[in-house]
Structure 1
Amino acid sequence: MAHYAVIMLLAGIGIPLLAALNAALGVRIGSPAVAATVLFSIAFLACVIVMLLTGPQALTKVVQAPRHLFLAGVLIAFYVLTVTYIAPHFGVGNAVFFVLMGQLISTALIDHFGLFGARITPMGGTRAFGIALMAAGVFVTQRA
């Protein structure tokens, strides 16, 4: 389990880097939409390579998946487009901190209700306090 935490920590480190790099690309080329398209093109190529290396058999099951699960693609496009546009105007830190606030809210709901097949982790007092403490930390960093 510890290796999962390390991998997700690295993914978390990558989110602000992604925001800063793609925002800078959007400013440099003058189009957040083009910057996002370039990002997704490179990401698509990377995913295809990993898929080919790990076995593309699951690709045949895509047509059987419930359609609402494809909303994830729209959500990641929304994130990349908005952070690419907003970060240069609002600051990478501000943009990512508000994303973090949204993540705290949505993860609490997803875990509490076990949405989309997630493991159920009820919202008890200790968990609510921890999330509130994290939210307060995000708020404090924005006031500094």
Structure 2
Amino acid sequence: MTHYAAIMLAAGIGIPVLAALNARLGANIGGPAAAAFVLFTVALICSGVAMVLTGPGALARVAVQPPHLFLAGVLVAFYVLSITWIAPVFGVGNAVFFVLLGQMISAAAIDHFGLFGARIVPLTAVRVVGLMAMTGGLALIQLTNRG
């Protein structure tokens, strides 16, 4: 299980890096949407290589999946487009702060209600206190960014 945590920690570290790099690319080329397109093209190639290496057979089952599952692609596009447009003017730290806050709220709801087939993890008082502590920590980080 610790390797899962390490992988997700690395993914979390990558989110602000992705935001900063793609925001800079968008600013450099004068088109945030074009920068997002480039990012998704590179991501498509990387995902394609990973799929080929791990077995492309799963791709054959895509056509029979419920349409609402494809909303994930819309959500990732929304994230990348919004962070690419907003980070240069709002700041990477500010943008990621609100992304993290949204992730905590959404994750707690998904876990509590078992949405989208997720394992149910009830929102106990201890978890609420933990979420409040994380939110407070994020807010403190933002306060020190302004000082």
TM-score normalised by structure 2 residue count = 0.97
The match for 2:38 is 38
Rounded Cα–Cα distance in structure 1 between residues aligned with 2:15 and 2:47: 17
Rounded Cα–Cα distance in structure 2 between residues aligned with 1:36 and 1:43: 10
What is the SS of the residue equivalent to 2:120? Answer: coil
Q: How many residues align?
A: 144
Structure 1 unaligned segments of length 5 or more: list them.
none
What is the SS of the residue equivalent to 1:46? Answer: helix
The match for 1:116 is 116
The match for 1:78 is 78
What is the SS of the residue equivalent to 1:123? Answer: coil
% identical equivalent positions: 62
What is the SS of the residue equivalent to 2:60? Answer: helix
Rounded Cα–Cα distance in structure 2 between residues aligned with 1:131 and 1:59: 37
What is the SS of the residue equivalent to 1:109? Answer: helix
The match for 2:126 is 126
Q: Which amino acid is 1:79 matched to? A: Y
Question: Which aligned segments of 4 or more residues in structure 1 are displaced greater than 3 angstroms?
Answer: none
What is the SS of the residue equivalent to 1:122? Answer: coil
Deviation of 1:97 after TM superposition, in Å, equals: 0.6
Rounded Cα–Cα distance in structure 1 between residues aligned with 2:15 and 2:143: 22
- Structure 1 segment 37-116 matched on structure 2, within 5 A: 37-116=37-116
Q: Which amino acid is 1:115 matched to? A: L
The match for 1:5 is 5
Tell me whether 1:142 sits opposite 2:142 in the alignment.
yes
Computed over aligned residues only, the root mean square deviation of the Cα atoms, in angstroms, reads 0.5
Rounded Cα–Cα distance in structure 1 between residues aligned with 2:136 and 2:69: 32
Deviation of 1:34 after TM superposition, in Å, equals: 0.2
Deviation of 1:139 after TM superposition, in Å, equals: 1.2
